[in-house]
Amino acid sequence: MSPRTGRPPKENPRNVNLNLRLTRGEAELIQECADALNTTRTEVIVAGVKLVKERLENK
């Protein structure tokens, strides 16, 4: 028998949960961006955080 079955583990798994309180408008804005970019809301938020970090480093 094989030692493990199923999917192989990811290189960089997303295993941390972060709960946010947003207004309905903010949530809709994130969803609109995700739809336009054909990606997930998580990816939109991560991209936004990276943009803010770049701005801070360039100050």
Q: pLDDT value at position 1?
A: 60
Which is nearest to 14 in space by CA: 53, 34, 51, 41?
41
Q: pLDDT value at position 55?
A: 97
Low-confidence ranges of the chain (pLDDT < 50): none
Q: pLDDT value at position 42?
A: 97
Q: pLDDT value at position 8?
A: 85
- Going from N- to C-terminal start, the domains of the chain cover 24-57
Residue 26, Cα to own-chain centre: how many angstroms? 15
54 class by beta-carbon count within 10 Å (0-12 exposed, 13-18 middle, 19+ buried): exposed
pTM for this one?
Answer: 0.80
